[in-house]
Structure 1
């Protein structure tokens, strides 16, 4: 089943020609994949065969150029894939993974989970619906973004939506917080310091398109990820700004400076086909939109 088959626009059908064209690209150009979904004027509907009801997602209405530059007013395919992987492995549905990703588990049951740069926070919602012990959702501290995030989390992480038999994360264990990557003040007794090394799983979806933020993102992952051999950070990202601008995030030296190491990395397209990661592969724009990089970080060993 295609990655984008679970997502649709809710509300009244748009009369905007741009909206009509964007939802018709797969018909007009069969090889073209839509990699961003929705806008602030349309609620998104996420339907999974394993959830009792669809999830209803509002997107932030950006205020000014700073908010708009966050691109959190879209749902991106990286979030769709990470949510699907979490669901697959936590519920044990869909069979064992094949290809380069074989053997990697995205199970969240009983884990403390943090999402960085959450946007619409679909992976966090899936974690909360499937029995994560604790879920904390963070994004840039912009009012429009955090207000929408809080409303989506409250609406969708509900026992009435969880699969039969799944233990929904208690509301008291779900938080939404503003966090700018790399900003970890020692006097922040409200969030950063109490949560140092507090999360078994850190989720990062479509946050690699800004190379000038890579070091800051490394610092945040290293700060919040638990200091255990079992802790993992799961990363999924599209190639929007090109492979060259993304690959520096995975440089061994830069990761080690934050106490991290790359465990696995591969690529997966919107039809579930997997291939080995290549830092210098050259795809045209249409092909590039179909592919995502999937990576797993762990704690670096040794001093």
Structure 2
């Protein structure tokens, strides 16, 4: 399956199959006894299943639990005003195993690739707003100085994330392609992989990427000690894709984001799109942090959770700056307008327009926000 954020003729068949599988998973799921987001996630599972089952002409999730999802590099139009013909190589940029989860972990919905993650991938590929070259990145779901991938510390979820880390970054392309040719897609249990786990730290430094389980709001010390310099300065980008649907988890999520964020003041206006300082009544200057939080969130579960997250982020408790980067609404099936026309329509949308969106519109929409901390001047 390719990664394209668009509709297709297969949508209705895929929707019915997915809805039936989700009903079976819900019937088998047990009540969660773990701490953190899982405690409150169960109340929202029905909403997720409903949103998966009613969209009709636009999917909000991609892939299937226990299956492989292929992400192909493509010419992205975010940084170009001219229409481009989408192209893709025969070889996927990433080949991801989707977790085969059960029990309470089903409530986390980590066994899909959500459209918000695809949009985030497009931003990273475009390299305009999110330029990760030489930066430290912390992904809570190429070219970076160091990346830490995190997910909820459920054994099935973390081991699946580690498997993707191994196959896409550690394993040689020749070994990887050989297994594909031999249709060997089962769990890796080779001596080479076991040796990789023994020498994990040195390999993490070589591939500039590590995997860790993390429950929002808990200690971030292990993530901060992974790479030289991160403990002192923090991460330059914190990437969040579809993490806002459980409002009760917002405070813990923001706590983790702030704990790992690079809080050095940004005084170079070429790095800032929101002005490089603000003056308060007492004359104190504050600069935006060099570290930024990129939030990509699908609108399929409504705008309320997004509003609550942004309000909490801007509250005195956290005091973050926020800005809307883009309202990205995908093309409907059969829409023959050019990419330039669709981009122009999206650019004219405002947050006020979201309240009037139909169910179909919401399912085709991903919101993109940039957040930062305000850092007092040392002058």
TM-score by length of 2: 0.59
1:293 partner SS:
strand
The answer (yes or no) to whether the contact 2:7–2:59 under 8 Å persists in 1 is no
2:96 to 44, 57, 60: 57
2:64 to 24, 39, 52: 39
Work out the number of aligned pairs and report it.
Answer: 254
The answer (yes or no) to whether the contact 2:254–2:313 under 8 Å persists in 1 is no
1:219 to 242, 245, 255: 255
Q: 1:214 to 1:19 in 2, by over 3 A?
A: closer
1:221 partner SS:
helix
Higher helix share: 2
State the match for 1:80 in structure 2: 118
How far apart are the structure 1 equivalents of 2:130 and 2:117?
14
Displacement after TM superposition at 1:157 (Å): 3.0
How far apart are the structure 2 equivalents of 1:287 and 1:247?
18
State the match for 1:132 in structure 2: 144
Displacement after TM superposition at 1:16 (Å): 11
Q: Deviations over 1:140-162 (max 9, x none)?
A: 0001101111111222236859x
Displacement after TM superposition at 1:198 (Å): 1.5
1:234 to 288, 294, 310: 294
1:151 aligns with 2:124: no
2:222 partner SS:
coil
How far apart are the structure 2 equivalents of 1:148 and 1:139?
10
Q: Deviations over 1:11-52 (max 9, x none)?
A: xxx999615999xxxxxx997211101122321111123786
1:67 aligns with 2:105: yes
State the match for 1:180 in structure 2: 215
Displacement after TM superposition at 1:252 (Å): 6.0
Displacement after TM superposition at 1:83 (Å): 0.4
Q: Deviations over 1:87-131 (max 9, x none)?
A: 0126xxxxxxxxxxxxxx111111001001x1xxxxxxxxxxx21
1:109 aligns with 2:137: no
Q: Deviations over 1:41-95 (max 9, x none)?
A: 321111123786302111111121x2000000000000000001110126xxxxx
Q: 1:291 to 1:151 in 2, by over 3 A?
A: same
The answer (yes or no) to whether the contact 1:252–1:262 under 8 Å persists in 2 is no
The answer (yes or no) to whether the contact 1:255–1:261 under 8 Å persists in 2 is no
Displacement after TM superposition at 1:137 (Å): 0.3
Unaligned segments of structure 1, at least 5 residues: 23-28, 91-104, 119-129, 162-168
1:207 aligns with 2:282: no
Provide the aligned C-alpha RMSD in A.
3.5
Q: 1:150 to 1:279 in 2, by over 3 A?
A: farther
**Which stretch has the larger CA shift, 226-235 or 42-51?**
42-51
1:286 to 346, 360, 377: 360
Moved over 4 A (4+): 14-17, 19-22, 158-161, 192-197, 252-256
**Which stretch has the larger CA shift, 78-87 or 38-47?**
38-47
Q: 1:257 to 1:193 in 2, by over 3 A?
A: farther
The higher radius of gyration belongs to: 2
Q: 1:265 to 1:4 in 2, by over 3 A?
A: closer
2:321 partner SS:
strand
TM-score by length of 1: 0.72
How far apart are the structure 1 equivalents of 2:165 and 2:112?
16
